[in-house]
Amino acid sequence: MRHILSLLMENESGALSRVAGLFSARGYNIESLTVAPTEDPTLSRMTLVTRGSEQIIEQIIKQLNKLVDVVKLIDLTEGEHIERELMLIKIRTADENQRAEIGRLAEPNGGTLVDESGDTVTVELIGSGDQLDAFINSVERSSIIETVRTGASGISRGTRSLRI
Amino acid sequence: MELNGSEILVQFLKDEGVEYVFGYPGGAVLHIYDALFQQDDVRHVLVRHEQGATHAADGYARASGKPGVVLVTSGPGATNAVTGIATAYLDSIPLVVITGQVATPFIGSDAFQEVDSVGITRPCVKHNFLVKNREDLAATLKKAFYVATSGRPGPVVVDVPKDVTDPGIRIPYEYPQEVSLRSYNPVTKGHPGQIKRAIKLLRAAQQPMIYTGGGVVLSEASDELIALTHKLGFPITNTLMGLGAYPATDKQFVGMLGMHGTYEANMAMHECDVLLAIGARFDDRVTGKIAEFCPNAKIVHVDIDPASISKNVKVDIPIVGDVKHVLTELIRELGSRDGNVDSAALEKWWRQINEWKSHNCLQYDRDSDVIKPQFVIEKLYEITGGEAYVTSDVGQHQMWAAQFYKFDKPRRWINSGGLGTMGFGLPAALGVKLAFPDSDVACVTGEASIQMCIQELSTAMQYMLPVKVINLNNGYMGMVRQWQEFFYESRYSHSYVDALPDFVKLAESYGHIGIRIEKPADVEGALKEAFGHKDRLVFLDFLTDKTENVYPMIAAGKGHHEMHMTPECKAPQSSERELA
Ligand SMILES: Cc1cc2nc3c(=O)[nH]c(=O)nc-3n(C[C@H](O)[C@H](O)[C@H](O)COP(=O)(O)OP(=O)(O)OC[C@H]3O[C@@H](n4cnc5c(N)ncnc54)[C@H](O)[C@@H]3O)c2cc1C
Ligand SMILES: Cc1ncc(C[n+]2csc(CCOP(=O)(O)OP(=O)(O)O)c2C)c(N)n1
Ligand SMILES: [Mg+2]
């Protein structure tokens, strides 16, 4: 099962490598990992997407909690939550028609054209991982020049929250 | 008080109550060594190799219950310490290892003797720190001691760049009395609801078993364990790390379990219906094949580390907490004298266990003309009255020491279980002797293991640490040879230790006494003589049977009921036993 873990960590050098090191040392899989500071400069927040059996996820959570730099952790997938990922995708377009076509594909998915230069367009898309995958699949493979994705970040719905 | 960084470090150790620092100097720690030189409160023990420093500090910690402290230089000093840090990590031993580092402006420049000590040690420490400012030094050291010794203990590395210890810059120092880490709050009390559920299960048990490990030793909970076990009347087994926490001579003790555990302990594990696991981590040497581990049992597991629970074996009633607290609660909840257990069922269960016991699985040939290693340990036990601190190295000798020295007290059996580090025994014995100068300390070792830290014989001389080295010299890496005999059709690939030194002369050249013993009849006399030399290190080189094997043995990946037994023992061999 896919799980989205959200962590508050001490904003210290080394904290990220402890998490990454834990995953490689114990052979856990990381689908994506994002980390950035929060409104509290002493804390950074990480979102980690991983897959595994219930037993493995339980171990992952316990092992992460054991890291001295991890202040708090929740499994977002245990409750209602919002998952968002940002993607920038640069696509080669032969003509005006194709550019319009890309625009038509992007818009219903909330995408915007953020750059049009020469024979390329760049689309910015925000959504769940699946939505971004779906968009990539809808574009002709050979016309994709590059994609860059932030990896998922997420937040619980309603009153459930991750704070100290 | 205004102090420079080096003085702060040393003053802090003093304020923290540190008696001994095990270390080895070098460029990055020279300022600190200079500060050490100018005081005599904190005593420095100069080892001959940084691995020795970590093992000596570790032995000191295991015997005394206090954290072991190590000081090494940057680069090779730090890398040499890694084996000892990992050894402590796998057995959850509290160490604070201070490593020198190149000065902060040089970090990352491949400077002389620079390695990323924090990076290298990250996977084998409980936590580590790089101190970037001298203002943070005292507080960081305080955190290090707190993290190392609380919760599930473990080694903590503090990497200190040279400029932080600059003797020219003084800042105010005050011993940090308080420490708090918002991200680190180990649990102590067990959940009362879980404790009640456990009691219910224990009372209903027909064929119960108690399995305890190193957590009982670490928690100083021997008395509570004895009280609970007596109250319940259940059979009890200990892991290799848990030996001594329950008296081996008590009649409810059925011996060690696992790969080289007793027939009765392993059979009882296999047949039990309720397992009470306390401060043990279901290691693969203990469980054997997971699918066949305690196939009929409901399991209660008490452990301070939630990650130990249901890691390898799914348990039914987890209790996260400190062993001492939880056992006290269990005893209280059990109330009445006999704990209200099913005594009729228990009586029947004991009959079965006593039948298993009657096979006497630890038999060996007592009429042999060559010295049997088991015999040496039995005599060691007799002559030291069971009161010695026994350290060991890794191999067959380690298993025989565990099987034949009946430890009645915790912290007397000191060995590397998790990492299985050859070279541990001798330096660990030195650490123990410093902690308990008036007690007998024996290092049971093999001719291969002892050579991995033999240089510490020199440290023993310098500090007058009269430990006794019991070298069970079978001329082989016996444990390796045994596996090759069993599983590789006796192809003894590189397990013969050729070109051995003359250990007697070697001991003498370090200034100690060396004795070679070749006949069974001389074993007792030699041991008596050695322990008679109260102020000398004696190296006893016992030439033992080269082909002796450790029994019982469960091959890796087999179940508890599939033991190989010694030919001396009449217990059914694994092939004859019903493989249910
Ligand atoms: C050659 C060789 C052969 C071996 N053969 C065997 C064998 O036959 N049988 C055997 O048993 N072992 C054997 N071992 C040792 C084995 O590898 C493990 O080291 C050992 O089994 C682990 O012991 P343990 O489960 O007691 O755990 P430990 O490593 O001692 O861990 C302690 C556990 O207690 C917990 N704990 C710590 N403090 C507390 C506290 N205050 N309160 C609550 N819980 C706490 C920890 O979280 C941890 O889970 C062998 C090793 C070697 C080198
Ligand atoms: C540092 C290290 N290297 C290798 C091993 C693997 N190993 C385990 S036991 C053993 C042989 C030990 O031989 P010896 O010390 O003579 O003890 P014996 O088994 O003969 O009693 C070896 C090589 C180890 N445990 N540690
Ligand atoms: Mg040997």
B479 is catalytic: yes
pLDDT digits (tens, 9 = 90+) for A46-105: 999 999 999 999 999 999 999 999 999 999 999 999 999 999 999 999 998 999 999 998
Quick check: CB of B214 below 6 Å from ligand 1?
yes
Q: At which residue do the structure tokens 């087999």 appear?
A: B558
The answer to whether residue A162 is domain-embedded is no
Q: Report CA B565 to chain centroid distance, whole Å.
A: 26
B112 is catalytic: yes
Statement to judge: residues A50 and A98 lie in one domain: no
CA-CA-CA-CA torsion for A92, A96, A102, A108, nearest 10 degrees? 160
The pick from B472, B479, B482, B548 for probing ligand 2's pocket by mutation, whose C-beta has the most ligand atoms within 8 angstroms, reads B479
Residue, of B577 and A110, whose pLDDT is higher: A110
Position B400 scores a pLDDT of 98
Position B573 scores a pLDDT of 66
CA dist B38 and B33 (Å) reads 9
Statement to judge: residues A25 and A91 lie in one domain: no
Contact B119 A10 (CB under 8 A): no
Position B185 scores a pLDDT of 92
Statement to judge: residues A75 and A121 lie in one domain: no
Contact B310 A55 (CB under 8 A): yes
DSSP state of B545: -
Quick check: CB of B394 below 6 Å from ligand 2?
yes
Statement to judge: residues A134 and A98 lie in one domain: yes
B50 is catalytic: yes
Mutate to test the interface with B, among A54, A57, A66 (most CBs of B within 10 A): A66
Question: One-letter amino acid identity for B112?
Answer: F
Position B578 scores a pLDDT of 46
Statement to judge: residues A68 and A86 lie in one domain: no
Position B567 scores a pLDDT of 87
Position B580 scores a pLDDT of 32
Note whether B48 and B134 are within 8 A (CB): no
Statement to judge: residues A45 and A64 lie in one domain: yes
- pTM across the whole model: 0.97
Structural domain containing residue A60:
2-79
CA-based torsion, B448, B451, B453, B456: positive or negative: positive
The answer to whether residue A105 is domain-embedded is yes
Note whether B147 and B156 are within 8 A (CB): yes
Nearest 5°: CA angle at B400, between B396 and B406?
155
Q: With contacts defined as CB-CB under 8 Å, which chain A residues touch B182?
A: 71, 164
The pick from B147, B216, B239 for probing ligand 1's pocket by mutation, whose C-beta has the most ligand atoms within 8 angstroms, reads B239
The two three-digit tokens of residue B382, written as one number: 């007799």
The two three-digit tokens of residue B541, written as one number: 């080189």
Quick check: CB of B420 below 6 Å from ligand 1?
yes
CA A18 vs CA A23, B49, B85, B126, B255: distances in Å: 9, 29, 17, 11, 39
Statement to judge: residues A92 and A136 lie in one domain: yes
Of the partner residues A21, A58, A69, the one whose CB lies closest to the CB of residue B123: A21
Statement to judge: residues A53 and A99 lie in one domain: no
What is the Å distance from ligand 2's center to B471 Cα?
13
User: Of A48, A79, A110, which closes a domain?
Assistant: A79
Q: Which residues surround ligand 3, an ion (CB under 5 A)?
A: B 446-447, 474, 478
CA-based torsion, B104, B107, B109, B111: positive or negative: positive
> Which residues of chain B are modeled with pLDDT < 50?
578-580
Quick check: CB of B158 below 6 Å from ligand 2?
no
The answer to whether residue A161 is domain-embedded is no
The answer to whether residue A114 is domain-embedded is yes
Position B337 scores a pLDDT of 64
User: Of A36, A63, A79, which closes a domain?
Assistant: A79
pLDDT digits (tens, 9 = 90+) for B46-77: 999 999 999 999 999 999 999 999 999 999 99
CATH number of the CATH domain containing A121: 3.30.70.1150
Statement to judge: residues A59 and A111 lie in one domain: no
Place A109 in a pLDDT band, splitting at 50, 70 and 90.
confident
Statement to judge: residues A145 and A89 lie in one domain: yes
Statement to judge: residues A128 and A142 lie in one domain: yes
The answer to whether residue A163 is domain-embedded is no
CA dist B242 and B256 (Å) reads 9
Whether a cis peptide bond, with omega within 30° of 0, leads into B466 is: no
Statement to judge: residues A86 and A149 lie in one domain: yes
CA-nearest of B82, B81, B118, B73 to B100 is B73
Chain B CB within 8 Å of residue A44 CB: no
Note whether B435 and B64 are within 8 A (CB): yes
Residue B508 is inside which H or E element, if any? Answer: helix B503-509
Q: How many domains does chain A have?
A: 2
CATH number of the CATH domain containing A18: 3.30.70.260
What is the Å distance from ligand 1's center to B112 Cα?
39
For the cut 90, the answer to whether the pLDDT of residue A23 exceeds it is yes
Position B579 scores a pLDDT of 39
B563 is catalytic: no
Position B577 scores a pLDDT of 54
Position B497 scores a pLDDT of 79
The answer to whether residue A122 is domain-embedded is yes
User: Of A61, A79, A97, which closes a domain?
Assistant: A79
Quick check: CB of B90 below 6 Å from ligand 2?
no
The answer to whether residue A7 is domain-embedded is yes
Strands B317-320 and B538-543: what pairing?
unpaired
DSSP codes of every residue in B392-406: E-SSHHHHHHHHHS-
